Structure 1
Amino acid sequence: MEPRTPRLCCLLLGLLAGWSSALEIISSGPTSIDQASGQSAKLGCEFTLAPEDTGPLDIEWSLVPPDNQKEDVVVIFYSGDRAYPDYHDPMAGRVHFHSADPKNGDASINLINLKPSDSGTFQCKVKKAPGIQTRKMVLNVMVRPSKPRCSTDGATLEGSNIVLRCTSKEGTTPLKYSWEKISDSKLLPASAVLDPVSGTVSVKNVTSSASGSYRCVASNRVGTEDCVLHLKVTPPPNTPGIIAGSIIAVLLILLIIAIVLFCCCRARHRKKYEKEICNEIREDVPPPKSRVSTARSFTVGSQRSSLGSMSPSNLHEYALKTQYDKIPSEEFERPPSHAPLPPPSAATAAAVAARMSGPNLSRMGAIPVMIPAQNRDGSIV
């Protein structure tokens, strides 16, 4: 039994030596690839064959699920000198072999127009009986950062605290942010505190030297984007001057309001005074002219009373003066259709005198009155 042991060992060593020189995958590239969405990726799988590998060549690329309980999903397949690329519908038309003839030792594939859903573990299996070899690669399809937005929080006044913000809405985490000053000294303020995760720069007690242009860069493993912020720090406002100006403005407004109210009150008072003047009865204003009928009745009544009190001796004088005792208003206000009455004639005056004689007046109930005679100059005779 002992002489057979060395022979078995030699046989096993020979078999191992034969297997070691059989089919072998020689790709030495990275087993993990990070690529941006929309770009292309090459998954390398180069191999060599041995003379004893005489079986048919089969090449299979598949997606290995994270759950070991699930089966692998074939992406592309090569067998019988023919490629079958459309095995996986989500990648149909976007995956193909890198070499036109994979049997020459290049089983690498190209994936174009990558999507985040393409991320996963890919396995390359090369089989040529009796040799079989596999190689796994991890593909991470990431979204590059979108163009960030730069902004400031807080008043940009000297002595105040401000925060510079930089945010990208899109991008596969982890995202990193960096700030730099691209003007003047190109150094951030001494009191600046940078947070690369949130993308903020806090500056306390800011001074005018912090004014300038700043650039923020957002980056992840597949790309970078940046934005520029122009910061201008202004001196604090003149608070006493503002207060004084506000007081003056308020006083001017109050003065204008007072003037307007005064003018309104004065106009109202003047209007009221004019209205009272219009309604007031003035003593120096002549009375309104009487009507024709009133004047006429007054004249006739006056004449009758005068005739009743006169004596027969002065009837002739009364008849002569009658034409001068008329009321002026009667002459101007009488309508054109009423002509003035002519003065009484001498015969008429005599008839009136005879009618007004003493016996007749006594019968009528009149009382005789003695009227003193007057001369021409007005003295009593």
Structure 2
Amino acid sequence: MDTVGRMDTAPSGLAALLLLNLLSGWSMGLTILPHPAVVEKADDDSVMLECRFRLDSADIGPLDIEWSRAPPDPTASQIIIIDYSGDRIYDTRLESMKGRVHFSSPDPKNGDASINITRLRPSDSGKYQCKVKKAPGLQLGDTKLEVLVKPSTPTCYVDGSHEVGKDATLKCLSEGTPPITYIWTKQGSLKSLPPTATADIILGTLKMKNASQDYSGEYKCVAKNRVGRSECVVRFSVSYPSNNAGKIAGAIIGVLLALLLIALIIWCILRRRKKKSYEKEQPYEIREDVPPPKSRVSSARSYTVDSQRSSLGSMSPSNMEPYKSNYDRLATEDLERPPAHSPNLTPSYKVAAPSLNRMGAVPVMIPAQHRDGSIV
């Protein structure tokens, strides 16, 4: 009996299982299909955020679709970007995203609520949420968007010597969202790097020791991250060292000649100034080229008369009265006496004292003197 009982209950258990599966399928309702949870894109590119859904026959209410973005502040409410309701699309309310966001499908009610965002910016990064509602069903789908900055055009240059036997370093620098890796390659027929070269993919350097002329050529650096890549090319020429000793000697000689010329100019200027200063300090001298003529020797008579005139010229007429008679006598004797230097000549006439007065002669008086020599 136990065996028969087991056989009777087996079909009933299988039927119950089939009925349970059938009922569960009918009650699935609104469902959002799987989509990428994280999307990475480069700035200035475009991206599509997926949100595909499936409706159930039990969902009889109006269809509402809403896209929102989580704010920087976790405590704040969601920021609505774009929505669909009552068979109508309502554009974004964000000024920063106007004209850059729209539904991928012209009719989202067909099961595709995905959106496209164009001309991406780093500020567009964040967590986006797709909400699909059709009563009695309601489903949410989240997608994280990361807008990365692709590497800028690198700057390549040679840091170090270009001479044979010396060490040199090639450097490559770029800006963008880290991490950025750098790859160095050599252009031309021989694309392999020199045997002594060591590349650093993080710092972007290529160090070469004991360089030879075989190291000369063009080297390309590629900078890349998860969303893009950029490259640059630099020329590295290795040559033998030039004759630096001759250049240094020539430079020293040139400097010395220049200093000598400057010193000579300064000396000439100082000497000229000193000469002008000396000429200003010297007084003018009056030179007597021809001696003056010798004066004639006057006679005793003229000397006596002139001396008497010079001695008594300042005497007043009142003082001269006592000496008038003496003057007449002396003048008469002087005229009657022949000159000493002409003993053989005798005057042909005599002039009396009254006549001399009429002729304008000036009487000369010899004043009387005391014994002490003072004039009375």
Q: CA RMSD in A?
A: 4.5
Per the alignment, do residues 115 and 257 of structure 1 end up closer, same or farther by CA in structure 2, a change over 3 Å counting? closer
How far residue 74 of structure 1 moved from its aligned partner, in angstroms, is 2.9
Using the TM superposition, give the Cα deviation of residue 97 of structure 1 relative to its aligned residue in structure 2, in angstroms: 0.9
Segments of structure 1 that go 5 or more residues without pairing to the other structure are: 268-286, 305-350, 357-381
Q: Measured at CA, do residues 288 and 159 of structure 1 come closer, stay the same or move farther in structure 2, by a change above 3 Å?
A: same
Task: Report the CA distance between 1:141 and its aligned residue.
Answer: 0.9
Question: Is the alpha carbon distance of 1:161 and 1:12 closer, same or farther for their aligned partners in structure 2, counting shifts above 3 Å?
Answer: same
2:198 is the counterpart of 1:173:
no
Contact 2:80–2:92 at 8 Å: present in 1 too? no
Decide whether aligned partners of structure 1 residues 26 and 247 sit closer, same or farther in structure 2, where only a CA change above 3 A counts: closer
Letter in 2 for 1:213: E
Please, which of 38, 49, 61 is the counterpart of residue 43 of structure 1?
49
**231, 239, 245: which is aligned to 2:236?**
231
Amino acid in the other structure paired with 1:61: W
Taking a change above 3 Å as real, the CA distance of residues 23 and 234 of structure 1, as seen in their structure-2 partners, is same
Name whichever of 109-118 and 74-83 sits farther off: 74-83
What is the percent sequence identity of the aligned residues?
44
Q: Please give the alpha-carbon distance, in whole angstroms, between the structure 2 residues aligned to 1:90 and 1:289.
A: 113
Contact 2:164 / 2:239 at 8 angstroms: preserved in 1?
A: yes
| Structure 2: 5+ residue stretches without partners | 1-7, 273-287, 300-340, 347-376
Instruction: Name 2:216's counterpart in structure 1.
Output: 211
Q: How does 1:231-310 map to 2 (within 5 A)?
A: 231-242=236-247, 245=250, 288-291=289-292, 294-295=293-294, 297=295, 300=296
SS at match of 1:14: helix
Closer, same or farther: CA 352–251 of 1 in aligned 2, 3 Å: same
For 1:298-332, what per-residue CA distance to the aligned partner results, in whole angstroms no more than 9, with x for missing partners? xx55x99xxxxxxxxxxxxxxxxxxxxxxxxxxxx
Cα pair 1:23 1:133 within 8 Å, conserved: yes
| 1:101 and 2:102 aligned | no
Alpha-carbon distance change, 289 to 212 in structure 1, aligned in 2, over 3 angstroms: same
Aligned to 1:197: 202
Q: CA deviation at 1:116?
A: 1.0
Give the total of aligned pairs: 296
Is residue 161 from structure 1 mapped to residue 164 from structure 2 by the alignment? no
Asked whether the equivalents of residues 46 and 119 of structure 2 are also in contact (C-alpha less than 8 Å), the reply is yes
Deviates more, 1:70-79 or 1:143-152: 70-79
Q: Distance in 1 between matches of 2:165 and 2:93?
A: 66
Name 2:22's counterpart in structure 1.
14
- Listed one character per residue, the Cα deviations across residues 266-306 of structure 1 (whole Å, up to 9, x for unaligned) are 99xxxxxxxxxxxxxxxxxxx94333xx24x3xx55x99xx
**Pick from 109, 123, 134: which aligns with 2:129?**
123
> Could you tell me how far apart the structure 1 residues matched to 2:187 and 2:22 are?
69
Query: 2:47 matched to 1:57?
Result: no
**Change in CA separation of 1:126 and 1:242 when aligned onto 2, cut-off 3 Å:** same
Q: Pick closer, same or farther for the CA change 1:176–1:266 going to 2, 3 Å.
A: closer
Aligned partner of residue 23 in structure 2, secondary structure: helix
Partner residue of 1:75? 81
**For the structure 1 residues 254 and 150, does the alpha-carbon distance in structure 2 shift closer, same or farther, using more than 3 Å as the test?**
closer
Q: For 1:121-170, what per-residue CA distance to the aligned partner results, in whole angstroms no more than 9, with x for missing partners?
A: 2222323334444433221111222222222222322222222222224x
Amino acid at match of 1:17: G
**Shift of residue 104 of structure 1?**
1.3
- Aligned CA distance change for structure 1 residues 152 and 54 (closer, same or farther; 3 Å): same
CA positional deviation for 1:65: 6.0
